[in-house]
Amino acid sequence: MTGFRTPQGGLIDRSKPLEFTFDGRSYSGFQGDTLASALLANGVRIMGRSFKYHRPRGVWGAWFDDPNAIFDVTLNGRTLPNCAATTTALIDGMQARAVNAFPTAKHDLKGVLDRFHALMPAGFYYKTFIWPNWHLFEGMIRKMAGLGRLDGELIAGYQSAQHHDRCDLLVVGGGGAGLAAARHAAEAGQNVLLIEDHPALGGGLFRRALPVEGQSPADWIAAQQAAILAAGGRILTGTTAFGVFDHNMVGLAQDHGFAKAPSLWRIRARRILMTTGALERPVTFANNDRPGVMGLDGALEYLARYGVAAGRDIAVLSNNTFATAAQPLLEQAGCKVTLLDATRGPAKAIGKTLRAVDHNGQRIACDTLLVSGGRTPVVHLWRHAGGKLDWNNTISAFVPGHAPDGMAAAGAANGTYDLDDALSEARAVALNHAAPPARKPVPMPLLQPDTNSNTRQWIDLQHDVTLKDIKLAAQENYVSVEHLKRYTTLGMAPDQGKTANMAGLAAMAQLQGQSIPETGTTTFRPPFVPVPLELYHGARRGQLFNPLKRLPLENRHRAAGAALGEYGGWLRPAWYSDIDAEVRMARNHVGLLDATPLGKIEVMGPDAAKFLDFVYYNTIATLKPGHIRYGFMLTEGGIVFDDGVVARMDPNRFVISCSSSHVAGVTALLESWRQDGNDPDRVFIHDTTANWATLTITGPQAKPVMQALDLGVDLAGFAHMTWQTGHFHDTPLRVARVSFTGDTSFEITLPSAQAEPFWDTALQLVQAENGGPIGIEAVSHMRAEKGFIIIGKDTDGETMPHDLGFSIPRRKKRAAFVGDRSLHSETANRPDRRQLVGLRSDTLLPTGAHLVTGKRSIGTVTSSYHSPTLNHPIALALLENGANRHGEAITVWHMDREIPATVTAPCFLDPKGDRLDA
Amino acid sequence: MAYSAFALLRHAFNGHNGWKPAWRSPKPQAEYDIVIIGGGGHGLATAYYLAKNHGVRRIAVLEKGWLGGGNTGRNTTTIRSNYFYPESAALYDLSVRLYENLSRELNYNVMFSQRGLMFLVHSEPEMEIAARTVNAMRLNGVDAELLDRDAVRKRAPVLNFRDDARYPIHGGVFQGRAGTARHDAVAWGYARAADRQGVDIIQNCEVTGLLIENGICKGVETSKGRIRAGRVGGAVAGHSSVLAGMGGFQLPIQSYALQAFVSEPLKPVIDTVAFSPATGTYFCQSDKGGLVIGGALDRVPSYGQRGNMPVQEQVLSGLIEMAPALAKVKLLRHWAGNVDVTPDSSPLIGPTPLEGLFINCGWGTGGFKAIPAGGYLFAHLLATGNHHAISRPFDLDRFARGALIDEGAASGIAH
Amino acid sequence: MQQFPCPFCGLRDEREFHFAAEAGKIRPDTTQPVSDADWAAYLHNRKNPKGETREVWIHTPCAEVFILKRDTLSMAVLGCEPLRKDIP
Ligand SMILES: Cc1cc2nc3c(=O)[nH]c(=O)nc-3n(C[C@H](O)[C@H](O)[C@H](O)COP(=O)(O)OP(=O)(O)OC[C@H]3O[C@@H](n4cnc5c(N)ncnc54)[C@H](O)[C@@H]3O)c2cc1C
Ligand SMILES: [Zn+2]
């Protein structure tokens, strides 16, 4: 038992005790504690195990820089894996368990692994497990690896709110520099947002524990806070800037407490001021991983924020004057303090339970060793934004150099450690003025590790990277910083090497006989601290992840008992009762289909005809007003992109009815050709798909239904592939005679708002003719019976129009059109192109089966149904040279099974088209 | 000095002081038989096979940064050969077969782990397309299974089997021989093996220009001086257009950032690779325990290697839709590589309009899996001046011939 | 999250835009003979510059097709111009 709660002090609420457990044992803490501070206060030393050797680990830091204390935490039946004990606020009833330790962190059975550490140097797995095969060892290794356990349970209501906002100045970090800057800028009229990741503002001012500009830290902080708010500034605490992205977009994660999803703020800041402070740097010496060895700043934070002393008998090993300033604070708390100068001679921690430190030939008894090897400015965000770093020799650290656009740094983050200097720098930079030169630099000599020693000196505490590993990497020529990191796994633990990276760099520089800046720095990647994946999710979930397009008649379809399914992004009736029955009904009587998703893109203007001639494979200019033509749009590569019909309204106006899933694509394609290559004042494009509903009446009884509907069209003179205007009551509408079924069909297009009354009337009349609604599946059957293709199903990324039997424009069309030249490439001319055919067989062929000769695929079955009309199986296929193979026997291959079939023409029903006008 | 458990034991006794450098850091010579630009997996593998299979002696690999630091060190390590077209299947299955023996061949554990990969299928119509793919793979001689919903669930219970899933799981296309390997180890293993064959791997050596004499490429200008070469091979991925620019021609390539994500380490969650074409996300778990997550290209073409928020949101939301229990898992790190995307998402291997310069590029989002085959085939081309039959269809001339090998439609998502 | 300028609507979120092509491509006159190589170059080749580039983009909400100048390495946006010449 070493750490203890001081009788007073800290930001905790001692009137609110909280109970919790760790590794099965009960403890208590106070409101305002973190799990780590509460455990430390209870004298708990061992809070985790290292990743590789399972060495006991105490807490090293007091905030996100701690690499050691990682718990799976359960509260009210909800478990979160991998919670950093140092940043998890204590709540009554929490049950915490150290990850990767069994049964407990204190008595971890895998602790024996450390005895074999000599067999597990850096990268040992690259040299072993080669015979017979890695996969044999992998399962065991995977079970040993990993930290927390994911329970697979969902947390109800776990959804990140998403905010979008902007500001003139985003101040990241609410310590002294950040508070001063935010106040200064806000009072100068800037729209300021100050964020701080701790629950309380103040940053390092608490642990510094000295007056600030003549006020106590708490008073000064409160005064700045009040002034910022009074000047219209905003403050978010418990909020971390986790990344800076393009064009000054900063991602903020706002914490809402345990098992609650944090909010994501996307802030567009005119300027970003980084006042993120600096982190304690460890010292590399023998046995420096022993529990009880802690960062000095961490210990001071525990003292100042939580009223917890890290130990009673404390030695402080440091290279700087912060240690001197810390001594009285620790002594006031009742600790005995010995200061040791880290620049003078190597140190060695003594005792499994720390009892002394050997330093400079002396043995100093202590139960706790606080280390401070300098400071590392927190420059992550600077690097995210592409800012440069400079090496500063006085403080032996990388500091912000050339600034990214709209970004500045001040205070400790900028290497300005003296508070007065930091405050004046922050105030200047807040107004975009040059900072005055620092008056009181705080020198921090570089500590060189003893690379000749044979002792075990830790660089990365979580990942068990020791100085020997760095040496091995150097010896094996993994010397570039990235090789070093990847080979040894330095800095790749959940703390991402916030403290370890600099120690590793220093060691590598020393081993290479070069300076640290010559050795380089690792890249800093977002997120700055781990954030829940949910942060990025928010409302983009479930049906909203990719919302379906809904039909204006959805309620009618539901009422009619439709099974709704997703087709090309639309929720459509797949069937109402029975697909075969629907087909027979439509073939024998009449069917009513909701074809609303069909595209309705208007193309208008004096150049419209010429324009369509260019974007269509077929010639459109010769189409007469009142008429309709079926055609293809190709890609410039000559591949069939869409099929559909074009109706000419008048000489300068057309409506393109593209397939339902292609509306956005076709519109964009038309727009880009219109504006890039044509005169945009002579042709216009307008997508009206969402404004109109389309209902199709199809079948031998379609005409009588139309008669009864009485839409004011001339039914007697209504030829196939023409259209007329009509009206339903007072609503104008269009009626087109086109057919996807091969039967007489009328396609009625009217404003969506009138869809329901029209449907009601039409359905009644259809039913009167022994018909009813039909779903998309029935239509698919009927299309296949006729050999009508569905683009993307019966065609693929290689299909050209002549593969589908449409070869005249390819041969004859004179005008230029999209894709024209590609239809004459070597490949386009090959005799073995895959062409559309029909297949007959005794049994239903599986869609997706291949056609083969031997084991070579020469085609695929693209659509296959039992035809309700013909009462036998039918299929469409793409087959090499298929057009010339009608009548041939062919082998269909599915999952190693062969099925005989015969090649036919693609049209199975009424090839002459008699039914169209039946 | 061979690597083995025994060697490890032996070296443990003298504090591992005896291990030799994995590769040298040689000074560049004035001239080589073959100079390879780009020390990624493809460049290093090419050098290795040139020396090993073709007996070429004087070979240099020039890398502007650190070897393996391009996409080879940034990818999500997925390896598979479940392709639709026979040309692709031949290429990628050669690669899988070479991977199957690679650790032993290189005497370096590349951790090739054949724990399988599945493409999820989210609807009945997609099941038909899946059947078409499985049949194609089997006809191509590649192992493939069509899984139903229960079989998918058995392999990856963490996936979304809830009733309210936006993309319900109907089944999957599974390739058992697919899996992952440790990306760095592939680069390092090839580098070490090539170095032992005498290949000079020269890091921090950027090619800044091509030495062109009488219209023929005779070498390169670099940040370390001029280096002459009998033949020059470029394997610079996202920078292929920059290299082409030095040679005075253009390529059918667009560079994009492709992002990847890794979570904090967890005890085993999933033991295969799962792709969802509908959400555009895929993930697996590394041996260390981190979930390795990937998805679509960034929307804006670029040479930036950091990636952008819209795709982060898309991919990570997609992941949670795919496996809702992962919502509370924390993201540790994300990054991007600079990938070279061709119009048909198939690679380019072959001569260029500049005589003496050959390229191996266009692997886009999925060339890690192809490193052994890419190196093997490119070495053949550089050594003999002629294509191996397997690389022939991937020549640059396929565009003029209209013979694209467009796998995009076949797989939905390319990795 | 980048912001691009639409000549018609002003600065907007990148998600509203679609990349169409590199600027300056001229479609060969296909009513005249075009070689396989020229056609393939038109279809597929591109400069793909590292650094400054001019590209054709579409602003989806307003359907404006325009030229965007930007830097493919720094992501800096350098300007935009409408394709139509008569807009000031
Ligand atoms: C995020 C991400 C995920 C991916 N996931 C997968 C996956 O799961 N499966 C898969 O199969 N593939 C994946 N890939 C793709 C795969 O990583 C690449 O296709 C593959 O690594 C390419 O290897 P390479 O050797 O051609 O290129 P690289 O590894 O990029 O090597 C090219 C090298 O050329 C160097 N270079 C460039 N210009 C010069 C010059 N002028 N002079 C000298 N050197 C130069 C570069 O520095 C670089 O090191 C992914 C890629 C990314 C970015
Ligand atoms: Zn606009």
Instruction: Give the Å distance between the CA of B152 and the centre of ligand 2.
Output: 45
Q: Which chains touch C (3 or more CB pairs under 8 A)?
A: A, B
pLDDT digits (tens, 9 = 90+) for C10-69: 999 999 999 999 999 999 999 999 999 999 999 999 999 999 999 999 999 999 999 999
Q: How far apart are CA B220 and CA B217, in angstroms?
A: 8
Q: How far apart are CA A469 and CA A284, in angstroms?
A: 13
Instruction: Measure Cα distances from B76 to A910, B72, B258, B371 in Å.
Output: 54, 9, 10, 14
Of A154, A489, A542, the CB nearest to B325: A154
Instruction: Measure Cα distances from B188 to A742, B107, B194, B363 in Å.
Output: 64, 11, 10, 20
Task: Centre a 10 Å sphere on the Cβ of residue C65 and count the other Cβ atoms it contains.
Answer: 23
Instruction: Give the Å distance between the CA of A677 and the centre of ligand 2.
Output: 19
Phi-psi region of B315 (alpha: psi -120 to 50; beta: other; left: phi over 0): alpha
- Token reading at B160: 């979304």
Q: How far apart are CA B203 and CA B200, in angstroms?
A: 10
Q: Tell me: cis bond preceding A7? Omega within 30 of 0 counts.
A: no
- The continuous run of DSSP H or E covering A464 comes out as none
pLDDT digits (tens, 9 = 90+) for A374-423: 999 999 999 999 999 999 999 999 999 999 999 999 999 999 999 999 99
* Residue nearest atom 13 of ligand 1, based on CA coordinates: B366
What CATH fold (topology level) applies to the domain A448-519?
Arc Repressor Mutant, subunit A (1.10.10)
DSSP label of A105: S
Assess whether the C-beta atom of B40 lies below 6 angstroms from ligand 1.
yes
Could you tell me which chain C residue has the CA closest to the CA of B353?
C37
The CATH number given to A827-917 is 2.40.30.110
Q: How far apart are CA A90 and CA A520, in angstroms?
A: 39
Strand partners, A235: A194
> CA A568, A574, A578 angle in degrees (round to 5)?
160
Q: How far apart are CA B25 and CA B27, in angstroms?
A: 7
Instruction: Give the Å distance between the CA of A517 and the centre of ligand 1.
Output: 27
Band (pLDDT 50/70/90 cuts) for residue C86 is low
- Collect all residues from A whose CB is shorter than 8 A from any CB in C: 245-247, 249, 266, 268, 386, 405, 636-637, 667-668, 671-672, 674-677, 680, 685, 814-817, 820-822, 825-826
**Complete DSSP assignment for A304-340:** HHH-EES-SEEEEEESSHHHHHHHHHHHHTT-EEEEE
Structure confidence at residue A414 (pLDDT) = 98
Of C27, C60, C64, the CB nearest to A677: C27
Structure confidence at residue A34 (pLDDT) = 98
Contact check, Cβ <8 Å, A118/B7: no
CB < 8 Å to C14, chain B:
299-300, 308, 310
Collapsing DSSP to helix, strand or coil, A103 comes out as: strand
Q: How far apart are CA B318 and CA A449, in angstroms?
A: 46
Q: How far apart are CA A585 and CA A740, in angstroms?
A: 16
Structure confidence at residue B413 (pLDDT) = 37
- Token reading at B199: 């290949």
- Token reading at B300: 């804006």
| Of A525, A524, A62, A11, nearest in space to A279 by CA | A62
Contact check, Cβ <8 Å, C2/B251: no
Q: What is the arithmetic mean of pLDDT over A43-57?
A: 97
Q: How far apart are CA A869 and CA B55, in angstroms?
A: 68
Contact check, Cβ <8 Å, B400/C36: yes
Task: Centre a 10 Å sphere on the Cβ of residue A372 and count the other Cβ atoms it contains.
Answer: 26
User: Residue A501 above 80 pLDDT?
Assistant: yes
Contact B259, B334 (CB under 8 A): yes
Q: How far apart are CA A259 and CA A279, in angstroms?
A: 28
Assess whether the C-beta atom of B65 lies below 6 angstroms from ligand 1.
yes
Query: Where do we find the tokens 């349970």?
Result: A153
In chain A, domain spans: 4-108+282-372, 162-279+376-430, 448-519, 554-597+691-774, 601-687, 827-917
Task: Centre a 10 Å sphere on the Cβ of residue A810 and count the other Cβ atoms it contains.
Answer: 19
How many CB pairs lie under 8 A apart between chains A and C?
Answer: 58
Residue from C35, C58, C65 to probe the interface with A (highest A Cβ count within 10 Å): C65
Instruction: Give the Å distance between the CA of B78 and the centre of ligand 1.
Output: 13
Contact A871, A877 (CB under 8 A): no
- Token reading at B228: 């002459």
User: Residue A225 above 70 pLDDT?
Assistant: yes
Strand partners, C82: C66
Amino acid at residue number C33: P
- Token reading at B208: 């800044």
**Furthest-apart CA pair in chain B: how many Å?**
68
Structure confidence at residue A1 (pLDDT) = 55
- Please give the backbone phi and psi of residue A106, each rounded to the nearest 5 degrees, phi first: -70, -45
Could you tell me which chain C residue has the CA closest to the CA of A826?
C36
User: Residue A740 above 60 pLDDT?
Assistant: yes
Instruction: Give the Å distance between the CA of C63 and the centre of ligand 2.
Output: 6
C-alpha gyration radius of chain B? 21
Strand partners, A751: A692
| Of A64, A89, A85, A108, nearest in space to A22 by CA | A85
User: Residue C88 above 80 pLDDT?
Assistant: no
On the 0-12 / 13-18 / 19+ scale of CB atoms within 10 A, A681 is exposed
Of A676, A814, A825, the CB nearest to C83: A676
Q: How far apart are CA A122 and CA A848, in angstroms?
A: 50
On the 0-12 / 13-18 / 19+ scale of CB atoms within 10 A, A411 is buried
Strand partners, C13: C3
Assess whether the C-beta atom of B346 lies below 6 angstroms from ligand 1.
no
Q: What is the arithmetic mean of pLDDT over A367-376?
A: 97
CATH (one of 3.30.1360.120, 3.40.630.90, 3.40.228.10, 3.40.190.80) for A554-597+691-774: 3.30.1360.120
Exposure pattern of B17-29 as b/e (b: 16+ CB <10 Å)?
eebeebbeeeebe
Structure confidence at residue B304 (pLDDT) = 87
Q: How far apart are CA C18 and CA C35, in angstroms?
A: 30
Contact A275, A419 (CB under 8 A): no
Structure confidence at residue C79 (pLDDT) = 95
- Please give the backbone phi and psi of residue B300, each rounded to the nearest 5 degrees, phi first: -110, 120
Query: Where do we find the tokens 């909400």?
Result: C61
- Would you state the torsion angle of the CA atoms of residues B280, B281, B282, B287, taken in this order, to the nearest 10 degrees? 160
Structure confidence at residue B305 (pLDDT) = 82
| Of A326, A494, B94, B300, nearest in space to C68 by CA | B300
User: Residue A917 above 90 pLDDT?
Assistant: no
The CATH number given to C3-25+42-82 is 3.30.2270.10
* Residue nearest atom 18 of ligand 1, based on CA coordinates: B367
- Collect all residues from C whose CB is shorter than 8 A from any CB in B: 1-2, 14-15, 18-19, 36-37, 39-41, 43-50, 55, 72-75
Q: What is the arithmetic mean of pLDDT over A687-702?
A: 97
Contact check, Cβ <8 Å, C46/B253: yes
In chain C, domain spans: 3-25+42-82
Q: Tell me: cis bond preceding A103? Omega within 30 of 0 counts.
A: yes
Instruction: Locate the ligand 1 atom nearest the alpha carbon of residue B335 and give its number.
Output: 1
Q: Tell me the ipTM for this assembly.
A: 0.97
Of B239, B242, B252, the CB nearest to C44: B252
Assess whether the C-beta atom of B234 lies below 6 angstroms from ligand 1.
no
Q: How far apart are CA B143 and CA C52, in angstroms?
A: 46
DSSP label of B64: S
Question: At the fourth CATH level, which superfamily is domain A162-279+376-430?
Answer: FAD/NAD(P)-binding domain (3.50.50.60)
Closest-CA distance, C7 to chain B, in angstroms, reads: 18
Structure confidence at residue B414 (pLDDT) = 35
Strand partners, A633: A616, A642
Amino acid at residue number A502: M
Reduced to 3 DSSP states, what percent helix, strand and coil does chain A have, rounded to the nearest 5?
Answer: 25, 30, 40
pLDDT digits (tens, 9 = 90+) for A260-313: 999 999 999 999 999 999 999 999 999 999 999 999 999 999 999 999 999 999
- Kindly state the percentage of chain A with pLDDT values over 70: 100
User: Which ligand ends up closest to the CA of B334?
Assistant: 1
CB < 8 Å to A489, chain B:
288
Phi-psi region of B280 (alpha: psi -120 to 50; beta: other; left: phi over 0): left
Q: How far apart are CA C84 and CA C88, in angstroms?
A: 9
Structure confidence at residue B412 (pLDDT) = 39
Collapsing DSSP to helix, strand or coil, B79 comes out as: strand
User: Residue A597 above 90 pLDDT?
Assistant: yes
On whether the pTM is more than 0.90, the answer is yes
Assess whether the C-beta atom of B37 lies below 6 angstroms from ligand 1.
yes
Contact check, Cβ <8 Å, C56/A676: yes
Assess whether the C-beta atom of B244 lies below 6 angstroms from ligand 1.
no
Task: Centre a 10 Å sphere on the Cβ of residue A838 and count the other Cβ atoms it contains.
Answer: 23
Q: What is the arithmetic mean of pLDDT over A660-684?
A: 91
Closest-CA distance, A488 to chain B, in angstroms, reads: 12
Instruction: Measure Cα distances from A426 to A176, A228, A278, A322, A409 in Å.
Output: 9, 14, 15, 21, 8
Contact A315, A369 (CB under 8 A): yes
Could you tell me which chain A residue has the CA closest to the CA of C13?
A247
- Token reading at B63: 């890398």
- Please give the backbone phi and psi of residue A871, each rounded to the nearest 5 degrees, phi first: 60, 40
Mean pLDDT by 10 residues, chain B (415 residues): 92 94 98 98 98 97 98 97 95 98 97 96 93 96 97 98 95 98 98 98 98 98 98 98 98 97 97 95 97 95 88 96 98 96 96 98 97 98 98 98 83 38
| Of A780, A848, A781, A849, nearest in space to A567 by CA | A780
Task: Centre a 10 Å sphere on the Cβ of residue A578 and count the other Cβ atoms it contains.
Answer: 13
Contact A312, A218 (CB under 8 A): no
The CATH number given to A4-108+282-372 is 3.10.20.440
Could you tell me which chain A residue has the CA closest to the CA of C4?
A247
Instruction: Please tell me the class of the A601-687 domain.
Output: alpha beta
